[in-house]
Every structure is written in structure tokens, then in C-alpha cells.
Structure 1
Amino acid sequence: MMGLFERYLSLWVGLAIVLGIAAGSIVPSVFQFVASVEYAHVNLVIAVLIWVMIYPMMLQIDFSSIKQVGKNPKGLLLTLVVNWLIKPFTMAFLGWLFFKGIFADWVDPQTANEYIAGMILLGVAPCTAMVFVWSQLTKGDANYTLVQVSINDVIMIFAFAPIAGLLLGITDITVPWDTLILSVVLYVLVPLIAGVVSRHWFEKNTGLTQLTHTLNKIKPWSIIGLLGTVILLFGFQSEKILSEPEAIVLIAIPLLLQTYGIFVIAYWAAKYMKLPHNIAAPACMIGTSNFFELAVAVAISLFGFHSGAALATVVGVLVEVPVMLSLVWFVNKTRHWFSA
């Protein structure tokens, strides 16, 4: 079942938001100092927090599972099409529709562009860690989920920057390619290599039991990294949020539509393809949820702490867990729609 972290993630994020806003109002000088600790447009404090978040996720992925890809190619095909050919583009469209159209009178053009950018970064980052939780709760095939996540992470190394750059460009946002590529190297490639090397060492020297024990010990650091990042982000955004609280609601609306919409597309396709339920469930969950840790890190690197892009990615964290839990309930209720 879900651990304390996963089950109450929205609560922890909510508390971190309140703490960040309060701290940003009371001691703004602390946040100004943190913002100044950067190199090549990468904030070093955030970089450490992101690595603390992502490393345990990469350590639990067994990339040797990729050799099982041929056992049920339809499920993998569904995941890849949804993640890389549909989801990024629908997210960009919804961002444009709401912040250039429906909400245009309520948001200034620069802020609208940044909100769209944050949504795009969420849309180009398919889920890596939490999908294991969703898979378990829907009685998904754990080994096949591992294959899907492993393939997606490999693709992410090569596809994240080009797709994000394309969509950011289409929405008239200047793309600093050097910073975008550096972010992918720092927040995907480096932790991925560290996870592979570490896992190989454990398997060779101590065995999988010790690896599992180590993962259980370091997983709490993921929540520390995530909540630390949220506190910093909302500390920097505190003045704007207190003066414009409706911004959170405006961002949440298209994100909710995107999440439920992508799920409907993926779940219908899975049923049409006659996938077994234990393959269909995690395949749809991967496409529906986001690798928000990566999106947050890249948004900060590209646009800064104070940006609407960074705010949009953190709102994504806030809405994701309750939405995904509602989808877990639906998937379990409709198990009879699929073969065993």
C-alpha cells in the first residue's frame, strides 16, 4: 500500500506552500541569498534538492528489464504514443487555449507565457516514480511497469529537450537551449547513471535484499527534497501569491482537464487494443501523471524562482495526487471492462 509520503503528499505540499509563503513574507533576505547561489543559470541549492528527490527513484529502476520489451509490445506502444506523441501537444494546446484565450483578460501576456511554459514542461515529463505506487494500487503487472518506466527514462534523455524546445518555441517563448540541455543532463542523465551504477554495485556486492533495505532508508529524503523545493518556490512567489491568489486556481483548471483528458484517451485506447487490465492500468497511469521533479527543476533553470513557469509546475504537484487517487478508484471499479 502507499506509504505515509505518497498517501498524504498533497497535505505535505500544502503545508510546505503555507510555510514558504509565510517565510517569504517574514524573511525575504534568506530567499534572496538562496537565489544568488547559482552557476550557469542553475541554482545550486535547488540542484542538490532535486538530486536528493530523483536519485532514489532512479535507483529502484532495473534497466535490465528492458530486454522483456517484446513480451507485450502493445502496452508499451500505448505508453510511448501517449507520452511522446499526444500528451506534450495537448498540454501546450490547453495552456495556449486558457492563457491566450479564456483567461487572457486576467493574466498579463508575460505571465501567461510563463504559465504555458510550466505546463509544457510538465507535459513533456512522463511519470517515473509515483507510477509504481499507482501500478501497485491497481494490481498492475509490476515487472511490465518496470519495463515501461525504464524505456520512458531512456527516451527522456533524448526527447525531452527537443520536444520542450519545439513547443516552447511554438508558443513564442525564447528557448535558452544551452540551459535546457544542461538541465536534462543534470536532472535526468546524471541521476540515471548514478542509479544504474549504484544498483549494479548493490546487486554485485550485497544482493537485492540490501538494495531494498537501502531504498527504504533513503526514500524519506525524497520528501525532504521535494518539500524543500516547494518551500523555496513559494517563498520566492509569496508576494505575488498573496496579491493574486487566484493564480493557483487559474493554473489548476487546465492541468485538471489535461490529466483527466489524457486518461480518457489512454484508457479507451487500452480497451480498444484489448490489453489485459494489469497492463492497461499502469500504461494509462504513466501517461496521465508527470515527472514533476524534473519539470520543477527545469522551470527554475530556464525561467527562475520567481517565474510563473516555476509556479505552474508546483501547482502540478499539488493537484496530481488527489486526481490520480480518483483515477485509481475508477480503474479498480472498471476492472471488468478488461480481460484478466
Structure 2
Amino acid sequence: MGVFERFLSAWVGLAIIAGTLLGHLVPSVFAWLSKAEFAQVNLVVGVLIWLMIYPVMVQVNFAAVTQIAREPRGLILTVVVNWLIKPFTMTVLGVLFFKGVFADFIEPETANEYLAGVILLGVAPCTAMVFVWSQLTRGDANYTLVQVSVNDVIMIFAFAPIAALLLGVTDIFIPWETLLLSVVLYVIAPLLLGIYTRQEITKKAKLRHIEPESSLSLFNTKMKPWSIIGLLMTVVLLFGFQAEVLFEKPFDIAMIATPLLIQTYGIFAITFVIALLIKLPHRIAAPACLIGTSNFFELAVAVAISLFGLHSGAALATVVGVLVEVPVMLSLVWFANKTRHWFH
């Protein structure tokens, strides 16, 4: 399993290639799999992401969650970056590229839709994959859970007003089914099973007079291969679903990806520098930086489709966000791990 972890980026690269080729060669299979969705959430991808998240939830110790009040800076940093910085920097970059740099290469109407799509991504902070990135950086599972939970609560109230302001429209349709299903599927359900699993492991360890932490560590070691398999299969599916778009509109995808890449690395850099300045410990700083850079793409895609249509430029832009996220986030995970010694 050590080989898998050491060369995870290479496996993800191969998964991207495999997903793209398979989606192009056998599109009917991916078309069938893509129909297994409810409220814009693909249930197959949901199960795979759930497989990645579940082992992280087993590590959550509610006795330790109460101690987060003693270290509020990481939570404050997450809220400030996600809601007071990220949506607005994404809007500025979108305008710069779609109204300026790329204006000669795309129609004004298409440019407006691409801009709307990247704005929706910027207003939707991640719910699910954050747990995976946190685990890969050895982040504090308890703290990450609280950060994600607070984000979800804020999103219920802040997503519509901020999106409406930045899109310049007055009536934003919020797909509550998508939002609520994602929170249940990616946070509540794996958390409840994680709590139950942790209690059972602890109970059995005590009966056998074994240290509970060592039993929990052994369980995590056994589950880690499944988490990585879940990640790789998710990548295959995501790229397989969009294979035809990748082949048909490579230049448009490159144009959309440009501001998204700058936004992702830029927001990470801002959060990273602030985390260093306020002297956050790495176990809190790394997840805080990664939460701010990743997106809740299910919500962004659902809103883009409801506002602009399934085949709109806005929907395409949110999909490109999905394709860009995994490889980019892995590069940031690598950087966060390499700079661990910079933190306290």
C-alpha cells in the first residue's frame, strides 16, 4: 500500500487517461451510469466518495470536538476565506479572462455564461472531498468536521444572496434537494456510521484488554486502500462522464480552466500565508487551506443547469471545475505535506 500512497498522483493521472479514453470508446456505459442520480447528485460517485470519507469519520472523537473552542483561529480563517474572499476573487478573475483576455475568442453571450459558471463554483465551498484532502495531509479529523459543518450552515443562508449579487440576477433558484442530499450523503450518514464503528471497535478492544487507539489505527490501515480505490474510481467516472466534451471543446475547456487554476492556487496561497502568520498548527492549517480551494461542484452544477440550461456555457464551466479539481488538489496536498515543518 506504500507504493499506492507514494505514487498517488501518478495513479490519478492514469485514472484521468483511462476515464477519458473509456468515456470516448464506450460512451453508452457512462451514459447509463450518469443516469443513476437524484437531485443532480450522481449516486455512483456519491457511494465512492462516501467510501473515501467513512474511514475519516471513524477517527472523529466527539470528546475532542469540544476542545475546538480553544483554537478558533482555524475556523475563523475558513469562514473568512470561503465567504469574504473566494467568491469575489473568482468574479474578478472571471471578468478579467472572459471579458478581457479571451474576449476575441468567444461570443459575448458564451463569455457571460462561462463567467456565471465560475462564479457559482466560487460561491460553493466543498463539502465532501475536503475530508479526503484532510486525511491525506494528516489533518485533524475533528476540526475538519467542524469546519465543514459550519460551512454547510453558512451556505444555507449565504449562497443565494452572494450568488445573486455577483451574477446580477434577483431570483436564484436553490436546489434544496441537492444541498440537503449532499450534506446527508457526505457528512451525516458517514459520520453516524463512523461513530458507531468507533464505539464498536473501542468496546471490543476493551473486552480484549487492547489499547483502543491501536485497534482504531489498525482499522484505518485496513481501510486506507479502499479509500484510495474510491478516489481513483471517482476520477475515472468523472472524466468518463465528460469525455466527449474533452474531445469536442478542448480550447473552451482550456479557457475556462485558466481562471479556475489561478483562483485555486491563489486562494490556497492566501490561506497558507495567513495560516503561517497566525501560527496555526499544521493539522489545522492544511485542511483550512484545502477547504478554501475546493468546491461543492454538485451544487454549482445544479444551479447552473436550473438557471441557464443543461447544455449552457455555465453548466460546462461548472463541469470543468470538477475536472480541474482532483489533480490540482493533489498537487496542493503534496505541497502542504512538503511544508509541514514550516508550521508549529
- Per the TM superposition, whether the score is higher than 0.5 is yes
The Cα shift of 1:317 comes to 0.8
Alpha-carbon contact 1:56-1:195 (below 8 Å) kept: yes
Letter in 2 for 1:314: L
* Alignment match of 1:223 (pick from 225, 228, 231): 228
Alpha-carbon contact 2:124-2:299 (below 8 Å) kept: yes
The Cα shift of 1:248 comes to 4.6
CA RMSD of aligned residues (A): 3.5
Change (3 A) 1:271 1:204: same
Map residues 234-273 of structure 1 onto 2, 5 A cutoff.
234-273=239-278
The Cα shift of 1:93 comes to 4.5
Q: Which range moves more in the overlay, 59-68 or 300-309?
A: 300-309
- Name the structure 2 match of 1:139: none
Alpha-carbon contact 2:16-2:236 (below 8 Å) kept: yes
- Name the structure 2 match of 1:159: 154
Alignment of 1:205 with 2:200, yes or no, is no
The Cα shift of 1:330 comes to 5.1
- Name the structure 1 match of 2:209: none
Q: Which range moves more in the overlay, 33-42 or 166-175?
A: 166-175
- Name the structure 2 match of 1:190: 189
Change (3 A) 1:34 1:290: same
Change (3 A) 1:229 1:299: farther
* Alignment match of 1:114 (pick from 108, 114, 117): 117
Letter in 2 for 1:219: K
* Alignment match of 2:132 (pick from 129, 132, 141): 129
The Cα shift of 1:271 comes to 4.9
Letter in 2 for 1:192: L
Alpha-carbon contact 1:259-1:288 (below 8 Å) kept: no
Tell me the number of residue pairs that the alignment of Structure 1 and Structure 2 aligns.
322
TM-score (norm 2): 0.76
Letter in 2 for 1:148: Y
The Cα shift of 1:241 comes to 0.7
Alpha-carbon contact 1:82-1:266 (below 8 Å) kept: yes
- Structure 2 residues without counterparts, runs of 5 or longer: 206-211
Distance in 2, Cα, partners of 1:233 & 1:201: 35
The Cα shift of 1:39 comes to 3.7
SS of aligned partner of 1:121: coil
- Name the structure 1 match of 2:334: 325
SS of aligned partner of 1:128: helix
Distance in 1, Cα, partners of 2:257 & 2:126: 14
SS of aligned partner of 2:130: coil
The Cα shift of 1:152 comes to 0.8
Distance in 2, Cα, partners of 1:244 & 1:311: 11
TM-score (norm 1): 0.77
Q: Which range moves more in the overlay, 182-191 or 88-97?
A: 88-97
- Structure 1 residues without counterparts, runs of 5 or longer: 137-141
Alpha-carbon contact 1:127-1:287 (below 8 Å) kept: no
Letter in 1 for 2:13: G
The Cα shift of 1:315 comes to 0.8
Letter in 1 for 2:132: A
